[in-house]
Amino acid sequence: MTAPALFQPLTLRGVTLKNRIGVSPMCMYSSEDGFATDFHLVHFGRFALGGAGLVIMEATAVDPAGRISPYDAGIWSDEHIPGLARVASFVAASGAVPGIQLGHAGRRASVREPWFAGAPLGDDAVEQGYPEGSPWVTQAPSAQPAGPEFPTPAEMTADDVRGSIEAWAAAARRAVTAGFRFIELHGAHGYLLHSFLSPLSNFRTDEFGGSVEGRRRYPLEVVRAIRAAVDDDIALSYRVSSVDGFEGGLDIDDTVDFARDLKAAGIDIIDTSSGGITTDRSMDTRVRRGYAFHADFSRAVREGADMPAATVGLITDPHQAESLLSHGDADMVLLGREMLNNPNWAHHALAALADSHEEWDIRYGSAIAPRAGTLARLAASGETPLTRFSM
């Protein structure tokens, strides 16, 4: 029997994923001064034990001013490396490729955690228990807030822009030192890279704005700097907001064209998300958030830019995921909330698609005994039911 498409390996440069199931980056708001903690080790580690081929660690700030909240993970200093290395090492030893998303939240930084509605931190943040230095002045291509509730960001000078490119490259070097083999740039959701790209947030007239080419310059310079900073075999991903979802904003044709530039600059896979350029949700009507709601975008990039694309967004069922891959909508699937719900999703997917439990970690073997008589059947046939024991 042919292995399901979901369980075919995927090679991106020198990195081979054992299957096409990735954990989408998800901020956990559990760091102090950016440091990874035991929580990160356990949280990201359990996805690797659960069978995902790729575990992408949450948006990790390349600069303290680029944290979404004061509790975001960070990689702006060498001191962050040991904590991150524990996570990467455990993920790799558990059979998954350790990935990390590098980010800078730009004008959407300095906000509270999502369970406080992600509202911008006020001047009373420290009194409310947030760390010293909260709130902070945010940075953007132009002095335009991300929405009515946001403060006005500082417009970056051309020197600020050039200087920040090195922060991305240094962060990527640290990520590699920590053991990550897949590095994703967060170029979506209204954060710094996206805010340079979109005509709805970049009103500059210097070389970092003013035209399509100008708006693409900073993101592409960041990609080139990272590509030059890391070993050739490291896989690079770029998360795009495929569409802005607002009149006059980026549309999928812009994104496909940008993907061609990203490919030429050294990106190996595009992760197609959407939205976020402003917080005015009343206008964000273009993307209906049903099952697999970005599949048309990953397909468009894959076909239009002739390069691998990942799709994300309400992928919950193994048959649905299998169908996306086998119909050419994407090269891999990323799951966010469903992984929080069920970190063993990949194991269950293999059971659902191929009636196989061979990927289960033997230490969790007792969990499958009650399932469809698998152990009894395999014991009767004399086969070893569980083969993986990686550490």
Ligand X SMILES: Cc1cc2nc3c(=O)[nH]c(=O)nc-3n(C[C@H](O)[C@H](O)[C@H](O)COP(=O)(O)O)c2cc1C
C-alpha span between 67 and 61 (Å, rounded) = 5
Beta carbon nearer to ligand X, 24 or 374: 24
The nearest distance, CB 302 to ligand X, in angstroms, is 18
What SS3 class is residue 291? coil
Residue nearest to ligand X (CB): 336
Distance of CA 328 to the CA centre of its chain: 21
The nearest distance, CB 103 to ligand X, in angstroms, is 7
Examine residue 186 and tell whether it contacts ligand X (CB under 6 A). yes
C-alpha span between 329 and 350 (Å, rounded) = 20
C-alpha span between 253 and 202 (Å, rounded) = 19
The nearest distance, CB 84 to ligand X, in angstroms, is 15
Using CB under 6 A, which of 94, 134, 201, 273 touches ligand X?
273
What mask of x and - would describe binding to ligand X in positions 46 to 75, judged by CB under 6 A?
Answer: ------------xx----------------
Which residue, among 130, 23, 161, 143, has the nearest Cα to 68 in the 3D structure? Answer: 130
C-alpha span between 220 and 266 (Å, rounded) = 9
Beta carbon nearer to ligand X, 272 or 374: 272
C-alpha span between 332 and 328 (Å, rounded) = 10
Residues 95-134 that bind ligand X (CB under 6 A): 101
Number of residues this chain uses to bind ligand X (CB under 6 A): 20
Examine residue 237 and tell whether it contacts ligand X (CB under 6 A). no
Using DSSP bridges, classify how beta strands 139-140 and 10-12 pair: parallel, antiparallel or unpaired: unpaired
Residues 9-38 that bind ligand X (CB under 6 A): 24-27
The nearest distance, CB 241 to ligand X, in angstroms, is 10
The nearest distance, CB 30 to ligand X, in angstroms, is 11
Using CB under 6 A, which of 125, 270, 287, 335 touches ligand X?
335
In the residue annotation, 191 being an active-site residue is answered as yes
What the block records as the tokens of 97 is 């490729």
Place of tokens 């896989």: 235
Give the amino acid at 127. E
Examine residue 245 and tell whether it contacts ligand X (CB under 6 A). no
In the 8-state DSSP scheme, what is residue 152?
P
Using CB under 6 A, which of the segments 213-221, 240-248, 308-316, 345-353 binds ligand X? 308-316
Q: Out of 71, 191, 218, 238, which one is annotated catalytic?
A: 191
Give the DSSP H or E segment for 321. Answer: helix 318-326
C-alpha span between 246 and 65 (Å, rounded) = 27
Examine residue 81 and tell whether it contacts ligand X (CB under 6 A). no
Angle formed by the axes of helices 81-93 and 38-49, nearest 10°: 20
The nearest distance, CB 324 to ligand X, in angstroms, is 12
- Do the Cβ atoms of 29 and 60 come closer than 8 Å? no
Beta carbon nearer to ligand X, 201 or 374: 201
The nearest distance, CB 25 to ligand X, in angstroms, is 4
Give the amino acid at 10. L
User: How buried is 107 (Cβ within 10 angstroms: 0-12 exposed, 13-18 middle, 19+ buried)?
Assistant: buried
Which residue, among 275, 278, 288, has the nearest Cα to 243 in the 3D structure? Answer: 275
Using CB under 6 A, which of 312, 349, 350, 354 touches ligand X?
312
Residue count (the chain): 391
Using CB under 6 A, which of 66, 249, 313, 343 touches ligand X?
313
Examine residue 337 and tell whether it contacts ligand X (CB under 6 A). yes
Using CB under 6 A, which of 40, 216, 239, 302 touches ligand X?
239
Residues that bind ligand X (CB under 6 A): 24-27, 58-59, 101, 186, 188-189, 239, 273, 312-315, 335-338
Catalytic residue IDs: 191
